[in-house]
Amino acid sequence: MLSFFCFTRNMDCSLQRLYMADTLAYIKTPIESELRIFEDRFKDSVKSNVPLLDTIMNYIVKRKGKQMRPLFVLHCAKLFGEVNESTYRGAALVELLHTATLVHDDVVDESNMRRGFFSINALWKNKVAVLVGDYLLSKGLLLSLKNKDFKALEILSSAVEQMSEGELLQMEKARKLDITEEVYFDIITKKTASLLASCCGIGAHSTAAGEDVIKDIMTMGEATGIAFQIKDDLFDYGDNKVGKPTGIDIVEKKMTLPLIYALNAADKSERRHIIRIIKKDKKSKNQIAEVISFVKEKGGIEYAQTRMMEYKSKAQKLLNNIKTESSTEYLNALIDYVIERKK
């Protein structure tokens, strides 16, 4: 299948956004009815008799993102059979956990914005946000336990363990700024790719795929997740409005792949100077701009893009080698979308 994105390079930004929206609509085409059912199930799963909690849940539901993770669950399920109740519960479980981690992340990162809107902690303060995250997590766990979806719970629990380890490792390295490329990939495999891998595994399991197939589809999901995170890191150096300010990773002392490569390519004096800026608790706009320019001049953007494409190609090769009962066309398009998205 020809890539949907091979001719976007020459489009202006508004046309590109329109084209990407059309692409996402295309990806949803074979699962439109299933996605609507999932959305209803997810909405029902977070209802509460506590007025404050119900208000916050409605706020979360109305500001849904691109639903990338449920898309992976549903598409992976369709590769091996028909979407069923187990699939819907798996998709809801993943989305509940993912939403819980976002709410908690905003507290940890002291972020006031999420997907272009005020975050939960910005509107209702940190204490409420932490409890909301806990509530979402508990709803996901109960959903699985009540229906005896133990395999899905096992897959996702492993992802939660890895995500926590990845976040803590990143925090540790932010203090020392001694992160290597190897450690970087270890961090993003744990904190981002593990969840996307679990989406693929849960989806495949729900339609009775065998253990070997589940392992292969999760490896595919992991490679896709790594490409996804590199793309996210690249947004920090761009001009697009993506829901987070440009340079925020630099402000938060996060050592991303473009920066790691640029530092390795610099001489000792340049390296010391840039690290001194990154270590500052408060950075001026000029200092942030200087780091961004440094990364670009040293080829950090191009290197990260190359590695991203490598993982995208790896994911699609793995996918196309898996024996499935239906076409992989839409899932391939979804993997393309992961690295071509504008936000």
How do the pLDDT tens digits run along the chain, 343 residues long? 444 444 344 444 444 544 456 888 999 999 999 999 999 999 999 999 999 999 999 999 988 778 899 999 999 999 999 999 999 999 999 999 999 999 998 998 888 888 778 999 999 999 999 999 999 999 999 999 999 999 999 999 999 999 999 999 988 887 888 889 999 999 999 999 999 999 999 999 999 888 999 999 999 999 999 999 999 999 989 755 544 567 888 988 889 999 999 999 999 999 999 999 999 989 999 999 999 999 999 999 999 999 999 999 999 999 999 999 888 999 999 999 999 988 7
pTM for this predicted structure: 0.90
- The predicted pLDDT at position 63 comes to 84
pLDDT for position 1: 43
- The CATH class of 15-340 is mainly alpha
Long-range CB contact pairs, 58-66, < 8 A, 24+: 59/120, 59/123, 60/99, 60/120, 63/114, 63/115, 63/117, 64/39, 65/115, 66/24, 66/341
Domains in the chain: boundaries:
15-340
